Structure 1
Amino acid sequence: MKKIEAVIKPFKLDEVKDALQDIGVQGMTVLEAKGYGRQKGHSELYRGAEYVIDFLPKIKIEVVVADDLAPAVVEAIQNAARTGKIGDGKIFITSLEDVIRIRTGETGAQAI
């Protein structure tokens, strides 16, 4: 099993969700996050004063899938979240040792 975490721009969430549903992903966790990468934030003018925004709004998506579905999930996220501009985000892939469904006690692929 693989845990795939993606940090994306907030306005791309619906496109990514739809792309994942199209390939059969049944569940995901979505978190609001703030951060920065190479773009290092940006400046904004508000009522004549300049403010530096160090942390930009992001969305973090977490998905756990079987090993054979992981490449399709990564490709779907990449295609749906890409704008071609700096700050599109990152995808992190980690191996999971086990998953346990709390309600039933199921483990492994049955618990996903």
Structure 2
Amino acid sequence: MKKIEVIIRPEKLDDLKKILSKNEYSGLTVMSAMGCGHQKGFKNPEFEKLGLSINLLPKLYVMTIVWDEDLESILSQMVEKLSTGSVGDGKVFVSDIEDVMRIRTGERGRDIL
């Protein structure tokens, strides 16, 4: 199993959900985030009201788990559908998952995803 952590533009969430659904994955966690990378962000007026000069842009953090055999296809689809070709499109982080457990029943392994 692989954990995919994606930081994307908020307007790209529906595209990401369609990619996952097309590959028969429905489970995901989404969190609102703020950040900047090479694009350096812009000074947020809301923070300036507080006397802070913070150059962050709104992003979404999405986490999901996929099977090893589906990873490359999903990553390719992400590049195709989520890329605008501009700085600030986001990042994808992939890591190994050893096991998974459903809290309600204690079930573990492949069947619970």
User: Which interval holds the TM-score relative to the shorter structure?
Assistant: 0.7 to 0.9
Residue 80 (1) aligns with residue 81 (2) = yes
SS in 1 for 2:111: helix
Look up the match of 2:69: 68
Q: CA deviation at 1:62?
A: 0.6
Supply the AA of the counterpart residue of 1:3.
Answer: K
Counterparts of 1:67 and 1:44, CA distance in 2: 40
Q: CA deviation at 1:52?
A: 5.8
Q: How many residues align?
A: 107
- Which structure 2 residues correspond to residues 1-112 of structure 1 after superposition, within 5 A? 1-43=1-43, 54-112=55-113
Counterparts of 1:61 and 1:102, CA distance in 2: 21
Counterparts of 1:67 and 1:8, CA distance in 2: 22
Supply the AA of the counterpart residue of 2:93.
Answer: F
Counterparts of 1:11 and 1:57, CA distance in 2: 10
Counterparts of 2:57 and 2:43, CA distance in 1: 11
Q: CA deviation at 1:107?
A: 0.9
TM-score normalised by L of structure 2:
0.85
Change (3 A) 1:52 1:39: farther
Structure 2 unaligned regions, length at least 5: 46-51
More displaced 10-residue stretch of structure 1: 70-79 or 54-63: 70-79
**What are the Cα deviations for residues 62-106 of structure 1, in whole angstroms up to 9, with x where unaligned?**
110111111122222222211000000000000011100111211
Change (3 A) 1:44 1:56: closer
Structure 1 unaligned regions, length at least 5: 46-50
RMSD: 1.8
Counterparts of 2:60 and 2:44, CA distance in 1: 21
Higher strand share: 1
